[in-house]
Amino acid sequence: MIELAIGIILAGCAIGAGLALIAGIGPGIGEGNAVARACEAIGRQPESKGAVTSTMIMGCAIAETTGLYGLVIGILLIFVAPNLFINAFKTALESMGKL
């Protein structure tokens, strides 16, 4: 029974990590499109290159954080959360006198 519960915890963590990593797809596409349009803008107005580059750096950093959040949550769910949840589960069982 305990093995099954631990298995469900591990599966939940793995599924959650997989779902969180989906967030990494969007920023890559969006960042690429934004930079492509910025390049076009520089091509049309070369004198605005400095301002466009500065703005793009900040914009890309903000866009990228969404992907990073997803990745960090995914990594935490894979590496850190399983031990945490299993220990909490075992502690709860011990306190109920079932372990």
Partner 1 sequence: MKVQSAVKKETAKIAVGVGLMAVLMLAVYLIIGQFRLSVLLGTLLGAAFAIGNFFLMAYSVQQAAEKMNGVQLPPEEEPEEGAEPQKTELSPQAKAGRRLMQLSYTGRLFLLVVMAGAAYLIPGIDPVPALLCQLFPRITIFIEGILLKKENQAQ
The DSSP letter of residue 76 is I
Site for partner 1 in 6-65 (CB under 8 A): 24, 27-29, 31-33, 35-40, 42-44, 46, 49-50, 52-54, 56-58, 60-62, 64-65
List, as one string, the DSSP characters of 1-42. Answer: -HHHHHHHHHHHHHHHHHHHHGGGHHHHHHHHHHHHHHHHHH
Residues contributing to the site for partner 1 (CB under 8 A): 24, 27-29, 31-33, 35-40, 42-44, 46, 49-50, 52-54, 56-58, 60-62, 64-65, 67-69, 71-72, 75-76, 79-80
